[in-house]
């Protein structure tokens, strides 16, 4: 696809910077089928549209929430098939949401333990007699 007539496209480097990924990762996403083939300019260089960037932001959020690449790949495949896969995409997100909520609960417990240890160390430091060091 020649997109040389579209004004607001980004190079692979610009797109990578915009979404906080490396150019290597962007190319890997495309190779893995997470991103549909990106349009190219008349010289054959990748040019990312606003829609491409929005899709990349979604992928980065899914990765940040711990979604496995195989599930991301499945989601991309389903999305490309159109509205007939809406229920399957929703089910995929619901299952992932349940995993995220479980992980959040684990992290909440971990945070409580850290707060407890920090508080214990503060109390221990406050109860120690201050030591005067000669200068």
> CA-CA distance, 19 to 50, in Å (whole number)?
11
pLDDT score of 1: 44
DSSP state of 2: B
Of 12-16, 28-32, 99-103, 129-133, the least confident:
129-133
* Range with lowest mean pLDDT among 72-76, 117-121, 126-130: 126-130
pLDDT for position 130? 64
Residue 66, Ramachandran bin (φ over 0: left; ψ between -120 and 50: alpha; else beta): left
Greatest CA separation for the chain: 78
pLDDT value of residue 57: 96
pLDDT exceeds 80 at position 6 = no
Please give the CATH number for the structural domain made up of 12-127: 1.10.1660.10
Residues written for the chain: 135
Residue 18 and residue 43 in contact, taking contact as beta carbons nearer than 8 Å? no
- Please state whether the predicted TM-score (pTM) of the whole model is above 0.85: no
39-67: average pLDDT: 94
| pLDDT value of position 8 | 86
- Classify residue 89 by burial, with Cβ atoms within 10 Å: 0-12, 13-18, 19+: middle
């Amino acid at each position: 696809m020649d997109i040389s007539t579209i004004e607001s496209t980004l190079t692979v480097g610009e797109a990578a910077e915009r979404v906080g990924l490396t150019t290597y990762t962007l190319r890997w996403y495309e190779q893995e089928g997470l991103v549909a083939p990106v349009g190219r300019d008349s010289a054959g260089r990748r040019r990312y549209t606003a829609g491409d960037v929005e899709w990349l932001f979604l992928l980065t959020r899914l990765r940040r929430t711990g979604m496995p690449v195989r599930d991301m790949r499945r989601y991309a495949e389903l999305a490309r098939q159109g509205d007939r896969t809406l229920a399957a995409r929703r089910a995929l997100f619901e299952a992932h949401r349940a995993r995220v909520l479980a992980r959040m609960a684990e992290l909440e417990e971990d945070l409580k333990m850290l707060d407890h240890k920090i508080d214990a160390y503060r109390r221990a430091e406050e109860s120690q007699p201050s030591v005067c060091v000669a200068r």
